[in-house]
Amino acid sequence: MFNKDTEELDDLFHEMDDDYFIESDKQAADVNELARLFYYTHGYQVEKGYDFESAKHPQERLMYRLAVQAFNYVKSREGQ
Domain that holds residue 7: 2-77
Query: In this predicted structure, what is the pLDDT of residue 23?
Result: 81
Q: Model confidence over 21-78: pLDDT tens digits?
A: 678 899 999 999 999 999 999 999 999 999 999 999 999 999 999 999 899 888 888 8
Read off the pLDDT of each residue in 16-21 and give the average, rounded to a whole number.
54
Number of domains in the chain: 1
Query: In this predicted structure, what is the pLDDT of residue 11?
Result: 60
Gap between the Cα atoms of 28 and 53, Å rounded: 9
Gap between the Cα atoms of 21 and 18, Å rounded: 8
